[in-house]
Structures are given as C-alpha cells and as structure tokens.
C-alpha cells in the first residue's frame, strides 16, 4: 500500500521533475534512464523497476500532467468549457507540455497498432464527467468525441506544430462546439 506523501511519492516527484527538466535541455534521442537517475538522485534500478523504460516513464509524466486538477464545475457548460480551454491554452504555453507530447509522438512506430494512451483515456473520462453534469442540468451537450475533435485537438495541434493558441481564439472553439451540439 502506497502512502500519499511517502517515499514512493517523493521518488515519483523527483523522477518526473528530472524528466521535464532534462527534456527542456536535451533532444529526445539523448534521453535515458541513467540521465534521469543522475538528475533525480533516484537509482536506475528503482526507475527501471517502477517504469521499465523511458517511454513508460514519459507516459506517466504525461498522465500526471494531463489529469492534474479537476475539470471546472461552474454550473454552466459554456463557462466550464471556457475555463477548461483557458487552462489548457495556458498549460500549453508552458514549454514542458509540448515537449512531453512531442516525445510521446516520437515513440510512434510505423506499422505498430496503437491504443489510446493512459493520459488520453484519463482526460477523456474527466471530460465525460463535465458533459454528464451539464446533461443532468438539462443543457445541450456535445459528445466527448466532438469535444475532443472541435476543442481539444486544435489546441494541442497548434502547441505541437506552431505557437500555442491564444485564449481568445480558444474561446471561439467553445462557441463552435456548442453551436454544433445545438444544431444536432
């Protein structure tokens, strides 16, 4: 049984911090468990035992970053989505998230079948909770797939391949999504 704030939490925190710091300093190709171990002060064997590989470690960092905090609950889907979009846009302006996403994308191998990442599944579940709350209040809601396609995907696409989307433009995505739900 893991204790919150115990040794396990300290190890995870130190290793995650080292991964993010190193990703800001080194290209993905140079990243390695020994480098993370040296930076974090956590023995390589502990890192291999807990995560098994750099790929699994980066996925764990991504899950933690994606699922940090709850989705907004303002009492209005429009405001929940605006606040969520603002939070995402601001987090993507921080260079660490795009770096982690790029590393995750670099792990894709041609011809290999892919499943949704744990980070994606966790975020999808959080967003579904937001939509379910709005539906319970009697609001018109998009599907979680529509939310991901119309609102979330453009935010991440821009952060990966250009400049992060300004918050004002992200708000227009919310309007577009809600118009889609209303016309369905």
Average pLDDT over the chain, rounded to an integer? 88
Q: What is the pLDDT of residues 144-166, one digit of tens each?
A: 999 999 999 999 898 888 888 88
pLDDT at 4: 55
CA distances from 36 to 17, 66, 99 (A): 9, 21, 16
Does the CA dihedral 30-101-155-161 come out positive or negative? Answer: positive
- Domain extent, residue 31, equals 7-52
Residue 159 lies in a domain: yes
User: Quick one: what percent of the chain has pLDDT higher than 90?
Assistant: 48
111 with 140, same domain: the answer is yes
The domain that contains 155 carries what CATH number?
1.10.357.10
pLDDT at 3: 53
C-beta atoms surrounding 128 within 10 Å = 15
pLDDT at 79: 96
Total domains, the chain: 2
Residue 24 lies in a domain: yes
Coil, strand, or helix at residue 19?
helix
Coil, strand, or helix at residue 70?
coil
CA 43/CA 99 separation, integer angstroms: 24
90 with 125, same domain: the answer is yes
Indicate the pLDDT class of residue 5, thresholds 50, 70 and 90: low
71 with 48, same domain: the answer is no
19 with 79, same domain: the answer is no
154 with 86, same domain: the answer is yes
pLDDT at 148: 95
Which residues contact residue 63 at a Cβ distance below 8 angstroms, ignoring those fewer than 6 apart? Answer: 117, 118, 119, 122
Q: What is the pLDDT of residues 31-64, one digit of tens each?
A: 999 999 999 999 999 999 999 999 889 888 888 8
């Amino acid at each position: 049984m893991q204790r919150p704030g115990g040794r396990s939490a300290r190890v995870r925190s130190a290793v995650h911090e080292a991964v993010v710091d190193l990703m800001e300093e080194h290209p993905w190709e140079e990243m390695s468990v020994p480098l993370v171990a040296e930076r974090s002060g956590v023995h390589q064997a502990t890192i291999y035992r807990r995560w098994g590989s750099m790929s699994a470690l980066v996925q764990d960092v991504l899950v933690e970053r994606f699922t940090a905090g709850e989705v907004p609950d303002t009492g209005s889907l429009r405001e929940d989505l605006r606040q969520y979009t603002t939070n995402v846009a601001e987090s993507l302006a921080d260079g660490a998230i795009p770096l982690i996403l790029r590393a995750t994308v670099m792990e894709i191998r041609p011809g290999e079948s892919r499943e949704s990442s744990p980070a994606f599944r966790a975020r999808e579940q959080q967003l579904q909770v937001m939509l379910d709350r709005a539906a319970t209040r009697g609001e018109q809601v998009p599907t979680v797939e529509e939310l991901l396609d119309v609102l979330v995907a453009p935010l991440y696409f821009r952060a990966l391949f250009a400049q992060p989307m300004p918050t004002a433009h992200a708000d227009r995505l919310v309007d577009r999504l809600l118009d889609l739900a209303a016309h369905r």
